[in-house]
Amino acid sequence: MNQTDFLNVVMPFKDKLYRLAKRLLVSTEEAEDATQEILLKLWSKNKAMEGYNNVEAFAMTMTKNFCLDRLKSKQAGNLTLVHSNYGDGNSSLQQQVEAKDSIGWVEKIMEELPEQQKMVLQLRDVEEYDFDEIGALLDMKPTAIRVALSRARKTVREKLMQKHSYGIG
């Protein structure tokens, strides 16, 4: 695989790799470093990539494993799990502030979720992967994915209702 082919295959999902790394690592710098490391590893495997059925799934799995290893390392004492979201430039300042506040609460709630639920919620609701892709990435059966997703959503919903008294009054 030459450089042009590699760029045509990898660049369309480079941002997804970054967002997953950002979800798992606290800082933008750490996520950027992780993304660069994964891209370098992919380039070093460019000859073997032609044999892969789904390069994107392979890269996402590499990113997940790299970030989790990074979190487990001794250098990771100051890293925590966070969620990043991107605002719409067309909304008013008040809407942006309210959206940022809501995202902040969801981030805090997601931090408290078990690791598996957090990953399934991130991949399904943020990255918009389908159940088969999530199953391949996390090595889970579709039923287990649905259960984890349902529990994660229920926890987020209940904690938001407690915090903001949603649906009451």
pLDDT score for 166: 54
Output the furthest CA–CA distance in the chain (Å, rounded). 62
* Residue 6: domain span: 1-82
pLDDT tens digits along 58-100: 899 999 889 888 877 745 454 444 444 444 445 577 777 777 7
Q: Please answer whether residues 41 and 59 qualify as being in contact, where contact means their C-beta atoms are separated by less than 8 angstroms.
A: no
Residues 6+ apart with CB under 8 A from 49: 1, 6, 9, 42, 55, 58
DSSP string, 66-113: HHHHHHHSGGGGG----------TTS-HHHHHHHHHHHHHHHHHHHHS
Integer Cα distance of 49 and 126 in angstroms: 27
CATH value at residue 115: 1.10.10.10
Answer yes or no: do 108 and 151 share one domain: yes
Among candidate residues 44, 61, 82, the one where a domain is terminated: 82
Answer yes or no: do 1 and 78 share one domain: yes
CATH value at residue 43: 1.10.1740.10
pLDDT tens digits along 101-113: 777 777 888 888 8
Number of compact structural domains in the chain: 2
